[in-house]
Structure 1
């Protein structure tokens, strides 16, 4: 069977897809990936066929932000849909199953229907899938006030249909397909998958057949830590890790991070990330690039991060206390889960100050929080990708729904 796995996003979206691809390949399947060009070299080194989609994303964390207007949003939306139909159509040639993972997947189901392939949509966080029991992810344009959950989902659907639906239906009409009346319902399908850990991020409707929760898709990272990093870890008590992935972060965040670690008598590891944060030239601070978080997080006193699904799950599985500094989308959900589960603390959204990080670390570095994090780690499963791969092989070829 030939499977196309498609995602549009940063490493937090791509690495879970690689986990599923690896499991499928181990089961003898032919796997192709459609991902942003930033990850092409890495994936080809792993032996996967890659079709790059869209522009490189890494520069978005340091590029000047242009204020959005309705016209700019509409133009970007139409361009995104066009790119997806043009690129995913090529990537999907000869495929039996198309898996669209993560946000902003507008074209894949239409292409699956056109070529007679099975289709699966997978989310990495519960609140990105509609339910009356939770609101959709917070967004800057959300209507003010305390609207009911269903009203907020209806508002999201209207926005999808307004900005993306017209161009989707143009491509469908050109292929002789009927129009889609409600784009979110079309994209999510009748039974979306939730690729999130059931202990950390459970679907709020237990036993509901409408959503299949496979568990988080975790790629087993076997890379050794860099010698300089190992030496730093070995040279003293466990440091505090600071990393914000693909998020924007001004240079002063690195200074605030070190100040907060020092306030607790801790050393700091600061990941440069896509914002290219520069760590201070000091013996108690080490700046690093991308590394094996699965190994590193087992050796730190706490993990301070942006709250992406992958980083939160990796830290939870490692038994590390956490401080979440949410910026957007599902990160607010994971900030709340970390706090409510007693695994650490969260700051207010936005750029964190040294004082805010120091206060959050007051909680995260407590012995009882460290103990809770270690105990909770036992509940975080590592077989989500293998579960998803087996299900893909046994169920999806039977239906394109």
Structure 2
């Protein structure tokens, strides 16, 4: 079987589909990933066939958060994105038997599957992104979308969310479908998600709420074992003292003084700090023996050596930290990050920072709570319940269909 895995997003979307591709290949199947060019070299280093789609996304982390496109700019961005996806996904789907759309921005995946008369599976990476009366829809925030005004009734909010999808994406999607001889889509979100979506999230960290109007198959998170060494500089820093606190915000925008704030908060608690530069390219004012700035790293190995993980709340980082049994402090920014922050608090394995950019005082107080002995003990206990075989389960289900 040959499988196309289509996604658009940062590492939180690309890493899971690459993990599934590696699992499929290990089972004797063929896999190709169609995703933004930022991760092309990494995927190819793993032997994964990779078709880039759209522009590099790394620069978005430096874009001011209050920069909202005009309606005309948004229309052009959406039309260009959809047209580019149709071109890339069509090319990548050559010879494929099924297409997996990973995450909601894989707009063209189902249409190309229809066009080629092959199977289609939609996979979400967090339960909050799928319609349910048990939770409200998240808001991307990438194109200036705002939550609709209305009563706090989840069914109503999901109906408003569906209308937002139609308003933003409907015309561009239907134009491409019409050119391919396909019928227009009346409900864009339902078209993408289907009535039988897969949920690539850990059942302990992100359980699907029942009863449900959707027939959801929860595979567990799509993770890949990382065997890379930590590197001499990181290893020496870890060995030189007590476990430090890790600060990293992935692909998220972060204020210029974030690293300085993080180091000050760690020092206030008598802790050393490791700062991941991330897409925001955080930097330290000067070298000091109690702090270390790092780039790309094996988080699975590093998190087992730190006292706490302070991060943005992305699905991948949250799951990796939970599996490592380390307390978490989440500073959520957008989308599913708020739901993961709430869930970490519910489980007692960490907590969420209050809304807004952290100050030294707020970060020190929140980090102090996250480092409490009872949180550490709970994080250790919950780690044993986090599953790491989601990609294997998904590959098996996919190839048995």
TM range (shorter): over 0.9
2:175, 2:220 → 1: CA distance? 36
1:339, 1:129 → 2: CA distance? 21
1:100, 1:14 → 2: CA distance? 11
What is aligned with 1:238? 243
Q: 1:223 aligns with which of 223, 228, 232?
A: 228
Pair 207,153 (structure 1): closer, same or farther in 2 beyond 3 Å = closer
1:145, 1:376 → 2: CA distance? 37
What is aligned with 1:61? 61
How much does 1:143 deviate?
2.2
Question: Are the aligned partners of 1:78 and 1:163 in contact in 2 as well (CA < 8 Å)?
Answer: no
Q: 1:164 aligns with which of 162, 169, 173?
A: 169
What is aligned with 2:97? 96
Q: Helix, strand or coil: the match of 2:304?
A: helix
What is aligned with 1:384? 390
2:49, 2:36 → 1: CA distance? 13
Q: Helix, strand or coil: the match of 1:251?
A: coil
What is aligned with 1:20? 20
Q: Deviations over 1:26-49 (max 9, x none)?
A: 111011110111111111111111
Question: Are the aligned partners of 2:309 and 2:321 in contact in 1 as well (CA < 8 Å)?
Answer: yes
Q: 2:272 aligns with which of 267, 271, 282?
A: 267
Kindly report which structure 2 residues correspond to 1:15-94, keeping only aligned pairs within 5 A, or say none.
15-64=15-64, 66-94=67-95
What is aligned with 2:369? 363
Q: 1:339 aligns with which of 345, 369, 376?
A: 345
Correspondence 1:326 to 2:336: no
What is aligned with 1:399? none
Kindly report which structure 2 residues correspond to 1:151-190, keeping only aligned pairs within 5 A, or say none.
151-190=156-195
Question: Are the aligned partners of 2:195 and 2:214 in contact in 1 as well (CA < 8 Å)?
Answer: no
Q: Identify unmatched segments of 5+ residues in structure 1.
A: 396-401
Correspondence 1:353 to 2:354: no
1:131, 1:300 → 2: CA distance? 36
Q: Return 56-65 or 242-251, whichever deviates more.
A: 56-65
What is aligned with 1:398? none
2:347, 2:217 → 1: CA distance? 23
How much does 1:8 deviate?
0.7
1:260, 1:310 → 2: CA distance? 25
1:144, 1:348 → 2: CA distance? 23
2:243, 2:211 → 1: CA distance? 38
Pair 207,73 (structure 1): closer, same or farther in 2 beyond 3 Å = closer
Question: Are the aligned partners of 2:18 and 2:48 in contact in 1 as well (CA < 8 Å)?
Answer: no
Q: Identify unmatched segments of 5+ residues in structure 2.
A: none
2:239, 2:315 → 1: CA distance? 29
Q: Helix, strand or coil: the match of 1:88?
A: helix
How much does 1:76 deviate?
1.5
Question: Are the aligned partners of 1:221 and 1:294 in contact in 2 as well (CA < 8 Å)?
Answer: yes
2:195, 2:209 → 1: CA distance? 17
2:173, 2:393 → 1: CA distance? 32
Correspondence 1:213 to 2:218: yes
What is aligned with 1:290? 296
TM-score norm. by structure 2 comes to: 0.96
Pair 208,53 (structure 1): closer, same or farther in 2 beyond 3 Å = same
Structural RMSD (CA): 1.4
What is aligned with 1:308? 314
Q: Helix, strand or coil: the match of 2:31?
A: strand
1:119, 1:338 → 2: CA distance? 32
2:104, 2:301 → 1: CA distance? 28
How much does 1:70 deviate?
2.3
Q: Deviations over 1:253-290 (max 9, x none)?
A: 11110111011100000000001101341110000001
What is aligned with 1:394? 400
Q: 1:248 aligns with which of 246, 250, 253?
A: 253
1:8, 1:342 → 2: CA distance? 32
What is aligned with 2:115? 114
Q: Helix, strand or coil: the match of 2:69?
A: coil
Question: Are the aligned partners of 2:253 and 2:280 in contact in 1 as well (CA < 8 Å)?
Answer: yes
1:294, 1:146 → 2: CA distance? 42
Q: Helix, strand or coil: the match of 1:31?
A: strand
Correspondence 1:201 to 2:220: no
1:64, 1:378 → 2: CA distance? 40
